Amino acid sequence: MEEQRLLRRAEMLKALVHPIRLRILAELLKTPKCVNAMHELLKVRQTGISQHLTVLKHAGLVAFRQNGASRCYYLPQPTLVKAVFELIKRDYPVVNPRKVRREIDRALRRRARAGK
């Protein structure tokens, strides 16, 4: 994968690691909203919401349309955001640490034998 593409994906993933930003995305999945509406729904200061929206915008996760003095935000890639929520809500199996240690020990022994 080209370097620029990896950097864009890393920025997107970094933008997703804040609970308020996830709440904003969840609200925008329902319908586009202006900053003042998100302020009322999320009980977060408008300046805080604006800062989080800026991060999400730079990551390409939200876009906006100016409506007079208000900025109304929407999801340009709603399928991507839905997929992220599907991914994080799943329960994934936890690896047994003893089994992993045994497999690592086996791999190290094979490597040591191969090096002789």
Q: Which position has the token pair 């791999």?
A: 107
pLDDT digits (tens, 9 = 90+) for 68-112: 888 899 999 999 999 999 998 887 788 888 998 999 999 999 988
Task: Write out the two tokens for 105.
Answer: 């020990």
Contact predicate 15/61, CB 8 Å: yes
Domain architecture of the chain: domains with CATH: 3-91 (1.10.10.10)
pLDDT digits (tens, 9 = 90+) for 6-33: 999 999 999 999 999 999 999 999 999 9
Q: With b meaning 16 or more CB within 10 Å and e meaning fewer, what string describes 84-103?
A: beeeeeeeeeeeeeeeeeee
pTM of the predicted model, to two decimals?
0.77
